Amino acid sequence: MDRVEFDGVTAEQAIAEIRSQGGRRHPGVTGYAEHAARMYLESHQRGEAGMRPVRELWVSQRLTRSVVWELYAWGRRYESVDGRLREFRFLRQGDALADGRDEATAIAIAAYVAAFGNPAVWPNPWSEPFHPSGRTGTERVRVVSVGLADGVVKPLFEGTAADVEDYFAEHGRSQVGEIAAGRDVVPGFGCADCKRVAVCDGPVRTPGLLGLDDSQGPLRTVSVSGLRYYLRCPAQAYLRSVHLPRAYEYSGEAELGQAVHAWLEEAHEAGPDGCRSRPLPPLGSGWSAGTWQVTGDLADAGVRMLAQHAEVCPFREAPEIENVRVEPRLTVFDTTARAIVLAKPDLVYQEAGQWVWRELKSTQKATRFFTDPLRQFPQLALGVVILSAGALGPGGAGRVELEILRPTGAEIVLIDARDDERVDTARTVLRELAAPWRADRTFEARPSNNCQWCPVSRWCPSYPGPHVEGKDHDSRAKPATAFEQ
Ligand SMILES: [Zn+2]
């Protein structure tokens, strides 16, 4: 967009440039970037005439003796020829409709710098303060977001400078103070890009968690689901990991599984006997939990599964349970593999001081599992290794439990996290999954029948179309060159 708006290059030329730089990024990302550029340009053509693009950032700056305060927003900027109207555009990775609470703060900051900021070029080096100059502020401000997947423009704010002042007072001023104080540590997806990760105590350091001896290359983020996606298709795993917009990917069965999880999560959050005191959804009427809805036969199967849970609930008759965490988001830093590992067990708790990690699986299939559960469900292997490494905090390693709920019964599979053989096997399972993922620098597509259910196939140049015969289609993508993730 900079090339089009500031350098006078045509849209087609700019898109051709995106393509010609392809070797430096994944072809799926290039596909998405092309689409996003077209969508943005289309949305732009529908916009108001007489607005000119602004290259400089709008910066609101305050200098004290010891601190430089600077406020600016990421997005694209436009102003009317007479300078009385400024428009700020957020670019949204997916569709234009988004978010809740945090969005108001982002809007407040964008509106504030548009209303009161000065133009300033990005400082070089970036550690230097901005040098704002030129026209200060404007009379009217508009803030919109543009969805890069669908090109829809969503108005977020429009008003005078005085309106902006009010909006910022409510949604921005104290929030900016909180952000600047930065006391909360929220490890997770952001860690791999964070400059402070080496000194931060947010992610729990667990060298060797994934079983690799060493590794090179940039820090990467992964979960067990990510490694399973990788096994199916490296390109799918990669395009998911960079958060490209995804098509809806849940079958009815998967929706049911999510609803059962959500129902039990809500119940257990209410207290140890929450799942027994909460009335089950009635049969024959459909039900919902969290953001998931189920209807018909699936809904009834789900009610029967929930009814089976009471028999195997960890809180049933265990007075020694403490430190219960329902669906905690765990972030572990394997410094050897150079990987931030994310996990979300369904439940962890301490029983007589020992940590227990529980995963829940709901299924309508009557068949039992015959292979080693650590191999069949690698998230159990991750649980064993995390417990054995003591990464959940003070307390001993206990066991990993797999709770299997069927409409006709419940079952618990127990894995002792103090058993050396189990720990070794868990480590082997993780190493076998993680080693090819960690060594991969191209994440080539592996087109197959799975493509028809792949939620990021839209961006993948190797997508063979909806009708694939057989499993071993050759990739239609150009031979990939290495790029840095
Ligand atoms: Zn329960």
CA of 342 to the centre of ligand 1 (A): 24
Does 375 fall in a domain?
yes
CA of 109 to the centre of ligand 1 (A): 44
Kindly report the CA angle at 456 between 455 and 460, in degrees rounded to 5? 140
pLDDT, position 248: 87
> How distant, in Å, are the alpha carbons of 220, 238, 294, 378 from that of 333?
10, 19, 37, 18
167 and 273, same domain (yes or no) = no
Does 152 fall in a domain?
yes
For residue 145, the tally of other CB atoms under 10 A from its CB is 25
306 and 418, same domain (yes or no) = yes
CA of 310 to the centre of ligand 1 (A): 6
CA 367, CA 361: separation in Å to the nearest integer? 13
Pairing verdict, β 347-351 and 354-362: antiparallel
Q: Of the candidates 329, 340, 331, 346, which has an alpha carbon nearest to the alpha carbon of residue 434? A: 340
CA of 228 to the centre of ligand 1 (A): 28
175 and 286, same domain (yes or no) = no
The per-residue pLDDT for range 221-264, each reduced to its tens digit, is: 999 999 999 999 999 999 999 989 998 889 899 999 999 999 99
For residue 271, the tally of other CB atoms under 10 A from its CB is 12
The per-residue pLDDT for range 188-221, each reduced to its tens digit, is: 988 998 888 988 989 999 999 999 998 888 999 9
CB-CB contact of 146 with 40 (8 Å): yes
CA of 114 to the centre of ligand 1 (A): 51
Identify the DSSP state of 429.
H
Of 157, 181, 205, the residue at which a domain comes to its end is 181
CA of 276 to the centre of ligand 1 (A): 7
Mean pLDDT of 112-137: 92
pLDDT, position 416: 97
pLDDT, position 479: 39
176 and 257, same domain (yes or no) = no
CA dihedral 476, 478, 481, 485 (to 10 degrees): -50
> How distant, in Å, are the alpha carbons of 252, 259, 291, 307, 308 from that of 300?
13, 12, 18, 11, 13
For residue 280, the one-letter residue type is L
Does 345 fall in a domain?
yes
- 40 burial level (CB within 10 Å; 0-12, 13-18, 19+): buried
Q: pLDDT category, 95, cuts 50, 70, 90?
A: low
Does 76 fall in a domain?
yes
434 and 315, same domain (yes or no) = yes
pTM of the model: 0.86
Mean pLDDT of 302-306: 95
CA of 304 to the centre of ligand 1 (A): 14
268 and 155, same domain (yes or no) = no
CA of 325 to the centre of ligand 1 (A): 13
The per-residue pLDDT for range 441-466, each reduced to its tens digit, is: 999 999 998 898 899 999 998 998 87
The per-residue pLDDT for range 375-427, each reduced to its tens digit, is: 999 999 999 999 999 999 898 999 999 999 999 999 999 999 999 999 999 99
Query: Helices marked H in 86-211 — which ranges?
Result: 101-116, 161-171, 173-181
User: How many percent of the chain have pLDDT more than 70?
Assistant: 92
Residue whose structure tokens are 């423009």: 153
CA 11, CA 16: separation in Å to the nearest integer? 9
> CA torsion sign, 125 to 130 to 134 to 138?
positive
Identify the domain containing residue 347 by its residue range.
252-438
Does 84 fall in a domain?
yes
CA of 273 to the centre of ligand 1 (A): 7
Identify the DSSP state of 441.
S
272 and 389, same domain (yes or no) = yes
Does 15 fall in a domain?
no
Does 78 fall in a domain?
yes
CA of 365 to the centre of ligand 1 (A): 22
Does 430 fall in a domain?
yes
147 and 258, same domain (yes or no) = no
pLDDT, position 96: 56
Identify the DSSP state of 452.
G
257 and 155, same domain (yes or no) = no
CA 107, CA 91: separation in Å to the nearest integer? 12
User: Under DSSP, is residue 394 helix (H, G, I), strand (E, B) or coil?
Assistant: coil
Mean pLDDT of 3-20: 90
> What is the number of domains present in the chain?
2
Residue 480 has pLDDT above 60, yes or no: no
The per-residue pLDDT for range 327-345, each reduced to its tens digit, is: 999 999 999 999 999 999 9
Instruction: Name the average pLDDT for the chain.
Output: 89
CA of 127 to the centre of ligand 1 (A): 52
Of 118, 146, 181, the residue at which a domain comes to its end is 181
CA of 274 to the centre of ligand 1 (A): 7
CB-CB contact of 346 with 312 (8 Å): no
Of 142, 166, 181, the residue at which a domain comes to its end is 181
**CATH code (residue 429):** 3.90.320
pLDDT, position 271: 80
401 and 319, same domain (yes or no) = yes
